[in-house]
Structure 1
């Protein structure tokens, strides 16, 4: 005889992923407006992103030591091979965020992250991780329309940025979506969350800081303001700690939710980043931008829950 599942137990199963989604979204979504503040403090964008990745990795390392790690030990070669790919796909795109924010705004940059779920689904369908269907194809097409509205509205004003900066902004959700799929497909069997998250963020930090070092050596620094070391250090340390906590939740969500559910974090990221940009940084979002965001959210409901794999 089959055993019925009570509504309470069903709600309990959803409580962890939803809580993780909210916590990770807040910890990571705050990067967008803080990146703008870092630019105003004269901190080069890749140094900002690399610095918070390094601090976040140290937070994860400390959490791992205090908790005992958990999971099956992974050979260092396997862990670092995984991290060498996962790092650039998971966190390095925030270096592009920091580069583009002074030109397109934190609010628009955050809103574009709402494309990540649709792109994740498209990639999962393309590689056979999920079965294609008309409903999902329609939802993906609608999400694309929303992105076009956001981009078009940003170029409609007198302060429209050069196209290259919008192209950089649009590259970020594509890379993050690829990271969602890669981590789910290549996560080492039995590996603990903190064990894999730490080298992933360290790999991203090395890439970003090395990129900044190369720019400085060639005299191509992307800093946009007068450097204030005290403010810059405070922003990196504070955001790094917040990001570390966010990624503890993020990688746990990867395990319990899978790539499609995980991709919904981009909606929380977008809401947090846009909210701070508008309420605290005084940014203004055009009506077309908000309309595009609404269209993308509607596309989420059309795409719906994960299809059969």
Structure 2
């Protein structure tokens, strides 16, 4: 991992990952409406991403480690964080807008918080719940108008909701199963490579390996771009995961939403709410509170905690 990345704060890396996800979702929309089969698109995405990372590792004379702990991690992190949400994204983006899809991604932090609290059988620090809630208010302001036009597509909305739910499980899994002292780039490469190994037989069995010549070549270049973006974003993801936990990392969802809304408006003419700037303020405040960069007054926290205890 370059020293510049290692010196960057988790907050800066989270923002960068959110930007990359926003670009990736925008390109995924192009792929989805061009008729590329979702599983085939995902295969080439992870194939390009894993090959890119493996070449970087080879250049540095490093390779992904193989062992029971690592294989379990590769499979769990890949299925929950790459393949399942990836297929869902390609499927639903043919039917719903980028803005709406991105808005649903803001549920990932809330889902992550709830999953982590359930698994650990305890409430996490109050500042995290407050920070996530502040960020959620910001996202709600930015996306409230966009949600109104999509309520009729109930099936696709329900399917899209499964995306942040699976991502939340992936956030918690990676945090709890992260191999001690592992190289983040090697973990990302191993995770993506194992998804290639899993997806290839499924494509062969379903006869979807062949690329239809009628498909717009631009969509194929988009898949290539998504793969390269995935290589960088997943490497950064594992670097951030090394420094924080699933709840902290899940804040990526907020930035991915805002960048997704922005790029959706630019690329596809999707409406952007004027309240967008206000939502940014809420977003940054929420992220700062969650990560401990902004401390709330002790008396305020005590008051909130007392109120919560009095009203279960």
Is the TM value for this pair above 0.5? yes
Moved more, 123-132 or 256-265: 123-132
| 1:149 to partner: Cα distance | 9.1
Give the structure 2 partner of residue 65 of structure 1.
58
Q: How many Å separate the matches in 2 of 1:16 and 1:151?
A: 28
Q: How many Å separate the matches in 1 of 2:136 and 2:263?
A: 25
For structure 1, the 5+ residue unaligned runs are 1-11, 218-222
- Note the aligned Cα RMSD (angstroms): 3.8
Does structure 1 retain, via aligned residues, the 8 Å contact 2:24–2:229? Answer: no
| 1:136 to partner: Cα distance | 5.9
| 1:83 to partner: Cα distance | 1.1
The equivalent position to 2:95 in structure 1, one of 89, 100, 103, is 103
Does structure 2 retain, via aligned residues, the 8 Å contact 1:139–1:303? Answer: yes
Deviations 1:143-191 (A, max 9, x none): 889999999866743x655311101111111111111111111112222
Task: After TM superposition, list the pairs within 5 Å mapping 1:1-309 onto structure 2.
Answer: 15-69=8-62, 74-92=65-83, 93-128=85-120, 131-132=123-124, 156-157=148-149, 160-213=151-204, 216=207, 227-228=214-215, 230-284=217-271, 297=283, 300=286, 304-305=290-291
Q: 1:87 to 1:129 in 2, by over 3 A?
A: farther
Aligned residues: 286
Q: How many Å separate the matches in 1 of 2:125 and 2:78?
A: 32
Deviations 1:167-218 (A, max 9, x none): 111111111111111111111222211221112112333445555555557x
Q: How many Å separate the matches in 2 of 1:63 and 1:13?
A: 16
Moved more, 164-173 or 106-115: 106-115
Does structure 2 retain, via aligned residues, the 8 Å contact 1:74–1:188? Answer: no
Give the structure 2 partner of residue 8 of structure 1.
none
